[in-house]
Amino acid sequence: MNESPIEKNRPLEISPEQTVRELVVNYPVLRPQLEKLGIDYCCGGLRPLSEAVQSAGLEWSAAEQALEQAWSSAQSEVPSVDWNAASLTALADHILEKHHTFTKEQLLRLDELLRKVQRAHGEKHGEMLSQLRQLFDGLDDELSEHLLKEERILFPAIKDIDAFVSGTGARPVVHCGIIENPIRQMMLEHDHAGNVLVDIRRLTGNYGLPDDACQTFAALYDGLQALEADLHEHIHLENNILFPKSMVQEATMNS
């Protein structure tokens, strides 16, 4: 995969009316700053930027300045892959190899860490940990099923359509009718997973460790935050790039 370097001295074009999706697709290096500002760029990508800023409890001028500073700093950073310019097959493979693999491994690891923390700290923090277990188990079940549907149904269809449009494969039969049908369902599940992550962050007091926390407790909270950050990037790549471009490709195939 070729890397697309950051265009030096390129101005940041930002306005209250543009969607969060437009901003993050055009300027992917701003994702960490959006995370810091508490602006949802994955599930909430279709909202106007002004609305997202307001929902994060920020003034427009402060958010604009923070984004401009982040963009200015990014001019000297190491170039990253421009997934907006990549083929859909390459992007799908990247999501599978990086994000699906990480999510599966992290869910297994977090399940065991949470089990150990419940045993060690159940007496003092049992109620909170029981609620955390309930939220985590629901997220685990949903994500495991979600990844399987993407791997078995949606991504093969996306890659088959991409191969046909690029002239390297036969015309595929999309067994789910039109590809928008499973995409719509996946996006609904993304929204729900995002809401559960918000509930977990709220329950844990923004991942504030109790005074008696052990190293396993700290590892659990670190791991949950790592899962959250990876899912944000994962969902962004699907909601804002892979899915809309796949629907455009299917329309091209059927025209």
Beta bridge partners of 80: 4
Task: Mark whether 147 and 55 lie in a shared domain.
Answer: no
pLDDT at 76: 62
Q: Report how far Cα 204 is from the mean position of its chain's Cα atoms.
A: 21
**Residue 140 contacts residue 121 (beta carbons within 8 Å):** no
> What pLDDT digit, counting tens, does each position of 20-40 carry?
888 888 888 888 788 788 888
- What are the residues whose beta carbons fall under 8 Å from the beta carbon of 100, sequence distance 6 or more? 147, 150, 151
Which of 35, 63, 82 is the endpoint of a domain?
82
Q: What is the mean pLDDT of residues 161-169?
A: 93
Indicate if the pLDDT at residue 77 is higher than 80.
no
Kindly state the tokens that stand for 79: 């170039």
Which of 67, 82, 97 is the endpoint of a domain?
82
Task: Mark whether 67 and 152 lie in a shared domain.
Answer: no
Indicate if the pLDDT at residue 42 is higher than 80.
no
Task: Mark whether 78 and 106 lie in a shared domain.
Answer: no
Q: Report how far Cα 111 is from the mean position of its chain's Cα atoms.
A: 21
Which of 82, 111, 126 is the endpoint of a domain?
82
Q: State the DSSP string of 142-172.
A: HHHHHHHHIIIIIHHHHHHHHHHHTTSSPPP
Mean pLDDT of the chain: 89
Task: Mark whether 59 and 122 lie in a shared domain.
Answer: no
Task: Mark whether 66 and 104 lie in a shared domain.
Answer: no
Between residues 91 and 216, the one the model is more confident about: 91
Task: Mark whether 163 and 73 lie in a shared domain.
Answer: no
- pTM value is 0.75
Task: Mark whether 32 and 107 lie in a shared domain.
Answer: no
Task: Mark whether 75 and 188 lie in a shared domain.
Answer: no
Report the share of the chain in percent with pLDDT over 90.
Answer: 67
> What pLDDT digit, counting tens, does each position of 172-231 carry?
877 777 899 999 999 999 999 999 999 999 999 999 999 998 888 998 998 999 999 999
Q: How many domains does the chain have?
A: 2
Task: Mark whether 93 and 183 lie in a shared domain.
Answer: yes
Task: Mark whether 161 and 216 lie in a shared domain.
Answer: yes
Which range marks the domain in which residue 174 is found? 88-254
- What are the residues whose beta carbons fall under 8 Å from the beta carbon of 12, sequence distance 6 or more? 27, 67, 68, 71
Task: Mark whether 73 and 112 lie in a shared domain.
Answer: no
Task: Mark whether 48 and 100 lie in a shared domain.
Answer: no
